Amino acid sequence: MTKSISRTIGRALLGAFLVFAGLSHLFWARTAFAAQVPSWVPLSTDFVVLASGVVEIVLGSALLIWSARAPLVGWVVAAFFVAVFPGNISQFLTHTDAFGLDSDAARGIRLLFQPLLIMWALWCTGAWARYRASRRRRGGRQ
């Protein structure tokens, strides 16, 4: 399988995953997502859950239909995964059960997956490859 085909499949899978996750924020898993909103966030927990769900649907849809701007979308998706990471850390630190993560070990393992999601977004959209190529063209280090 060529690199572009595997990236296209990876982008489609990530896009579908984000759309599904966003819909679950809005409909069937609002309580579980609410458990991840840190208490220090100065907004309504329900607003954060709903807004992040809408953002996930938009980002997932962009991955699915906006291939001409895939690298830009990849950077935005990666930034989104960075932005929601404090919620995962908070869930670990406060020992909050949600999504079947009912032990510190399970919540800790989940933390390891966030960097993988970031790398997936940058890889499948070609964002990282384009960044590296631009650095090479400018004579910068990789």
Report the number of secondary-structure helices (H) and strands (E) in the chain.
6, 0
Domains of the chain, by residue range, sit at: 3-137
**Residue 4 is inside which H or E element, if any?**
helix 3-26
Which pLDDT score, from 0 to 100, does residue 2 have? 65
The CA–CA distances, whole Å, from 44 to 16, 33, 47, 65, 94 equal 27, 13, 5, 31, 19
Quote the percentage of the chain above a pLDDT of 70.
Answer: 96
Task: Please state the pTM of the whole predicted model.
Answer: 0.88
Q: 19-51 pLDDT, tens per residue?
A: 999 999 999 999 989 988 998 999 999 999 999
- Checking if the pLDDT of 141 tops 70, the result is no
Percentage of residues in the chain with pLDDT exceeding 90? 67
User: Are the C-beta atoms of residues 112 and 118 closer than 8 Å to each other?
Assistant: no
pLDDT digits (tens, 9 = 90+) for 90-118: 989 999 888 888 899 999 998 999 999 99
Neighbour tally for 24: CB within 10 Å = 16
- Across 7-13, average pLDDT: 95
CA dist 39 and 49 (Å) reads: 13
